[in-house]
Amino acid sequence: MKVSYDFRERTVFVAGAASGIGRAAALACAQAGAAVLASDVDVQGLASLAAASPAIRTLRADIGVPAEAAAAVEAARRLQGRVDAAIITSAIQRRMAIDAMQDALWQQHLDVNLSGVFYLLRALMPIMKAQRSGSILAFTSGLASAGWPGAAAYAATKAGIVGLVKSAAHELRPHGVRINAVSPGLVATPVFLASASREEVDGYDRALGVSQPEEVVPLLMHLISDGASTVSGNVVERRMIPRAVSP
């Protein structure tokens, strides 16, 4: 069985689009015909994305700054006068023990991973409520419930995403707008590869397998499509199945 998507005359906003899952999602949505506004702080990554798909518009924006987050959403709206979907993948993870972490590093995680998502939602909601349609995806993590040594800041912000998304779903439901959180599992993104040790990555790969960003995209495409029109307020976990052990 094959699945295809027609996103023509639709606008998709992708935050954190310079690399990883965001980049893969932006390319897939553009290929499906959407007008895509891709934002990130990584200017070189955005330039590479634009070269790969000239149909994608790019904008350098730090979503942890309220005015820049609002400007990015407005830039997406100006493409076709609406925003039909938003995929918010922006995140940082700098591992450090709690008792060694300085205030600035803790605050940086909050600004990007949690407050940044809030700022984008605050800008997106009036647009989608007015058009009475739209789908938003934010990203949580298995670390939100499991934790990990040195990952307290990242895990705490990803747990916060769950509460933010579930509350937003209640507010958006009367307006025909959907929002979900995605827990993508182990994915070879720059955020994961830069934070985990080589031994940790190898161990995960042997036990479960580490996915490529493109492998997450089919789930995202479904969730922002009409095929998921009744799905909102959920944490959609892309759980990996342990690899079989040879006898």
pLDDT digits (tens, 9 = 90+) for 115-156: 999 999 999 999 999 999 999 999 999 888 888 889 999 999
Measured over the CA atoms of residue 218, residue 42, residue 66 and residue 7, the dihedral's sign is negative
Averaged confidence pLDDT in the chain: 91
How much is the pLDDT for 206?
67
Confidence of residue 15 (pLDDT cuts 50, 70, 90): very high
The tens digit of pLDDT for each residue in 50-104 reads 999 988 999 999 999 999 999 999 999 999 999 999 999 999 999 999 999 999 9
- Residue 180 pLDDT exceeds 70: yes
Confidence of residue 184 (pLDDT cuts 50, 70, 90): confident
Of 29-43, 118-132, 186-200, the poorest mean pLDDT is in 186-200
Separation of alpha carbons 169 and 167, rounded Å: 5
- Asked about 119 being catalytic, the answer comes back as no
The model's pTM? 0.92
How much is the pLDDT for 73?
98
Residue of 5, 119, 154, 204 with catalytic role: 154
Q: What is the DSSP track for the chain?
A: -------TT-EEEEESTTSHHHHHHHHHHHHTT-EEEEEES-HHHHHHHHHH-TTEEEEE--TTSHHHHHHHHHHHHHHHT---EEEE---------GGG--HHHHHHHIIIIIIHHHHHHHHHHHHHHHHT--EEEEE--THHHH--TT-HHHHHHHHHHHHHHHHHHHHHGGGT-EEEEEE--SB--HHHHHHS-HHHHHHHHHHT--B-GGGTHHHHHHHHSGGGTT--S-EEE-PPPPPPPP-
- Residue 245 pLDDT exceeds 60: no
How much is the pLDDT for 207?
62
